Amino acid sequence: MLEETIRALKSELPPDVELVAVSKFHPAEAIGEAYRAGQRLFAESRPQELLQKVQSLSASCPDIRWHFIGHLQTNKLKLVLPHVELVQSVDSLRLLQAIQAWANGHDRKVRVLLELHVAAEETKQGFSAAELFAALEQAVREKAFPAVELCGLMGMATFTEDERVIRRDFSRLQETYREVRARYPELESFKELSIGMSGDYSIALDYGSTMVRIGTKIFGARR
């Protein structure tokens, strides 16, 4: 069943849109099943949970890939950064500075997406547009984060049945993404727009999504 869902999803997505399977709260066995069905890229939102899954799956799933999509505290960087190829949820200047320090100290380049807050919910994390452009100014003009590769934007639409609201939110994300690329052509790696979850990914495709993050539709409800 999981295999069928993944196959159906992949056939629905344009070939240049990456499917990120959000496995948070689901056991390692479910991830193994998705892996055997051909899925390689997974995302987690809690450092300890990521670490446990990395450890239990590394032998049986040798070319598994991980993204981090949750709120990341600076004191947890050392748990997360060695294991992920992309942190999608960079939501503050302070976190960007801490990632720069870690990457510099470990002689690594860390790939990140900047998370833009557009949804109506107060609780959803992310930069405001003003904060985002302030951080980009520091990155580009002052070269403040040379060990961090800014690979694009991530965002979430308001959790609602009202499709107009979802379209408004995705449209803002796409506009901001385009504005960043127009203003900072030197950011050559700024190519990803990570929008779309189980409930709204087909709408996100209308707004230039390059990466959809899908949990519930693949793995079922989280407990």
Q: Closer to ligand PLP by CB, 80 or 197: give it.
A: 197
**Interface pick for ligand PLP out of 27, 58, 216, 220 (rule CB under 6 A):** 216
Interaction mask 55-84, ligand PLP, x per CB under 6 A: --------------x---------------
Helix (H) or strand (E) holding 65: strand 65-68
**Interface pick for ligand PLP out of 17, 19, 21, 22 (rule CB under 6 A):** 22
41 φ/ψ angles, rounded to the nearest 5 degrees: -105, 125
Interaction mask 176-215, ligand PLP, x per CB under 6 A: ---------------------xxx-------------xxx
Strand 148-155 to 18-22 pairing: unpaired
Please report whether residue 158 would count as binding ligand PLP according to CB under 6 A: no
- Rounded to 5 degrees, what angle do the CA atoms 95, 99, 102 make? 140
Using CA atoms, how far residue 100 sits from 190, 197, 212, 214, 215, in Å, is 17, 29, 26, 29, 29
Residues that bind ligand PLP (CB under 6 A): 22, 24, 45, 69, 197-199, 213-217
